[in-house]
Structure 1
């Protein structure tokens, strides 16, 4: 299916993508490179600028059939990569430390296979999504009228800590919902020698933080799982002469379901608002990194699982759903979708670690798995 030359060229592509990472929503050069590769493969349709920088490419079959989408992510992370491989990021402070370079390469590999032998029926769409890391990309693509409809959607995410011949998949919850909630508390400053004349956020924060953490309960295996993580807190200015009159609290909220997230978000907002009011402060809120829960459709998950087993991949549903979120869940609102977590090595550095690097020997198995799913549905 893939020749030695294919694998060598795909490996070089993966490393080239690794050297040139771009942040969420800014994946202009990456999208241009992907679109050019799809054109070189002779894709039947190529649409660019979907939801910002998204790219989709179609390979049509001769007969009517299902529309099947496979997704990869374009964006990288705002993390400095550790010194190491020759293909280390050339962009200081930005790096592909989640494996999106490998995921893109896997879809390009599938494109090579489809270019040589079109589907017998239906259409296979290769979808390259922007802004996965901040949870904005899927919503932007779904809001774009240029995005076609799909019957099925599939995605692979590599999974460090699991051997390369193993994978995790289940029907139902795969990734938790999450949202980043920012609260701004505003009071009034005073001279540091007269703190009684200020409306300072310090006492409010002392009450708010433990109450927020107290909202956490259970594990991700529990239907009512909730996790609250304080990720950032800032109060006042870096000065010794001022009693602070301003503060920010950043908190990440997680739940197993979108419905539970609505309740958790309301509870967290109520705690902060009440704590602020009790100390004469005003509270304002905004949110970022809003991820819907990623839920595998039972039929799509079964299709993916059968294909993985046919490729000799041992499956498990241990430790699912992941507490970490994934911006694939919203595609499940318009199609039967499933994600699989493909092992990238038992001893491999974790995702988002400074020394993480997608393993090149996962490229060929990923392409084989994706192609088997495509052929099972479209011939």
Structure 2
């Protein structure tokens, strides 16, 4: 019978220092692709934990700290995110953002602090086999970060057999965690559509080719591409997020229109079908109104799918940590680029850690990460690692 591996817990001094670090990090948010200073500060906090190797500038400003047992075994990756959001913070905490229009309103400052606390545990109890990689990932908010990390030429040095992550979830009971096998987060992507005709004097609109009728038809037609089905196979949703037409002038009939929309599905194959349908709709509408068109995509997120074996290990880690599990029966409608680690070959799973239903929701101006989650997150990761080590 395998002996149970017991890892140490963070000390009270650890938790004070980690909380101070998290709150200070909160003051200085950096957006996706801009996380240079955040990464530098993470490296400073990692140094006393003596990782065997630290890779920097991974997929941008990502940091990967490697703790190597020197013995054969799996590579186990735990991921957090570095980036903040382009939103003005309206909360009144004393450590609120000092950067106008930018703030840590999704909890990535807290997730990274949990990982730094876990690094302290690893400094006192090195892995008994294989390797542990702590991946501080850039650019999660725009979907570019995990793709860039996996595409980095050094990724083979850290390519995991197992990958785990967590995200705070204010809608859940404090200290509980939601986890399930299968889809954890929806696939999504943003589409930018441009329709081009030609301008004319407002008194002679027939001299030009206005996109007015086309854009007025296209917006509801895009919405109608949503299936109306519940979250699961065949679910599709289209949300128009922005539209504009022509110049702000009373004397010019417009010659150009722009639409931005978000496409959303549970599964990647459904996304391919939805993309084909939307692109066909754009082409047909533009042709019917004598317009040229073009489109491009941003914020592309693959579906994040929890592997069954990885979910079992993470669930057992939660149980050992004394965390109440809430079964995730449907995915989060929001997107998360952690799914890229699963697509790269890892058995991956992600859980949602409850902040309490009275806590402000993520991406709202009043949100702040709840510091009491730091020791809980460390404990979940420690117990999950212990189970992986016991099984290897």
TM over 0.5: yes
Aligned to 1:288: 298
Farther off after superposition, 187-196 or 351-360: 187-196
Query: C-alpha separation between the residues in 2 aligned to 1:156 and 1:281?
Result: 46
Aligned residues of 1:78 and 1:93 also touching (Cα < 8 A)? yes
The answer to whether structure 1 residue 7 and structure 2 residue 15 are counterparts is yes
Query: C-alpha separation between the residues in 1 aligned to 2:16 and 2:43?
Result: 20
Aligned residues of 1:182 and 1:287 also touching (Cα < 8 A)? yes
Q: What CA deviation, in whole Å up to 9, does each residue of 1:325-378 have, x standing for no partner? A: 001011101200000001111111111000000001011100000111111112
Quote how far apart the aligned CAs of 1:319 are. Answer: 5.5
Quote how far apart the aligned CAs of 1:83 are. Answer: 4.0
Aligned to 1:155: 165
The answer to whether structure 1 residue 43 and structure 2 residue 51 are counterparts is yes
Q: What CA deviation, in whole Å up to 9, does each residue of 1:274-318 have, x standing for no partner? A: 111111110101110000000000000111111112222222234
Query: C-alpha separation between the residues in 2 aligned to 1:355 and 1:285?
Result: 35
The answer to whether structure 1 residue 300 and structure 2 residue 286 are counterparts is no
Quote how far apart the aligned CAs of 1:38 are. Answer: 1.6
Aligned to 2:349: 338
- Report the count of equivalent residues: 379
**Which residue of the other structure, out of 73, 84, 104, is the alignment partner of 2:81?**
73
Query: C-alpha separation between the residues in 2 aligned to 1:377 and 1:220?
Result: 35
Aligned to 1:91: 99
Aligned to 2:147: 139
Query: C-alpha separation between the residues in 2 aligned to 1:238 and 1:378?
Result: 64
Local SS of the residue matching 2:55:
strand
Query: C-alpha separation between the residues in 1 aligned to 2:294 and 2:380?
Result: 47
The answer to whether structure 1 residue 167 and structure 2 residue 191 are counterparts is no
**Which residue of the other structure, out of 94, 99, 112, is the alignment partner of 1:104?**
112
* Runs of 4+ with deviation above 4 angstroms: none
Quote how far apart the aligned CAs of 1:210 are. Answer: 1.2
TM (norm. structure 2) is: 0.95
Query: C-alpha separation between the residues in 2 aligned to 1:160 and 1:115?
Result: 31
Aligned residues of 1:98 and 1:352 also touching (Cα < 8 A)? yes
Local SS of the residue matching 1:96:
coil
Q: Unmatched 5+ residue regions in structure 1?
A: none
TM (norm. structure 1) is: 0.98
RMSD: 1.1
Aligned residues of 2:232 and 2:330 also touching (Cα < 8 A)? no
**Which residue of the other structure, out of 339, 359, 377, is the alignment partner of 1:366?**
377
- In the superposition, relative to structure 1, how do residues 315 and 83 fare at CA in structure 2: closer, same or farther (>3 Å)? closer
